[in-house]
Amino acid sequence: MPSIPNEHRQYLEERYNVRAWFGKSRYARTPIRQFAAETLHLQGWKRHRMWRESNPPGVGLILRQHDNVLEQIMAITVWECDDVDAAHEYLLFALMQVQSMAIERDRVSEIGDVLFRLNDTFFVFARANIVVLVRNVGSHVLGIAELANTLDLAIMRRLALGPQASLELSVTPAPAAASEAETESLT
């Protein structure tokens, strides 16, 4: 796992109040293995690109809506860490990579054990030993809160089934700017 330089660590620990959340999860004794994020299927979305990461193991997906290559694009990366402490360390590392002072901890949402977000366009959270990053990468801004919540629910379903169970992820996010009729057709 990449290390955080000491000069950055102190700033991050203060900025994100790490003592309040680091190492805390009701799922600390139930790590997930082989989460299989590459099986993620989103109705109305096509996989544009997939990559694997090795330290910690992870899967990244670039998804585009239908054939609209440049406008409605989102990226999802899911990392599987050894345990809750490692996941929270990697969450801190992911926050270090973000160059926005507007990212804040969300203490209201029930997404993840700990969640950081920028409005409805960027989410990074940890649940048990899994870290998830969901973000807009296209020119059309998408609301991704529902998607982040659905991914977290999939993690919680997997936790309920047991750490070695397989689970295919199938979710249906709706673009934030979609009309009510468009949203109904996506679900």
Instruction: Give 93's DSSP letter.
Output: H
The tens digit of pLDDT for each residue in 20-59 reads 999 999 888 888 888 777 667 766 778 888 888 888 888 8
pLDDT beneath 70: ranges in the chain: 38-39, 42-43, 66-70, 163-187
Joined together, the tokens standing for residue 44 give: 């109305």
Supply the pLDDT for residue 96: 92
Give the pLDDT confidence score for residue 182 in this predicted structure. 33
User: Angle at CA 116, nearest 5°, toward 110 and 93?
Assistant: 130
For 22-69, give the DSSP string: TT--TTTT-------GGG-EETTEEEEEEEEEETTEEEEEEEEETT--
Say which amino acid occupies 165: A
Q: What is the pTM of this model?
A: 0.83
Domain ranges for the chain: 6-186
Question: Over the stretch 90-99, which tens digit does the pLDDT of each residue have?
Answer: 999 999 998 8
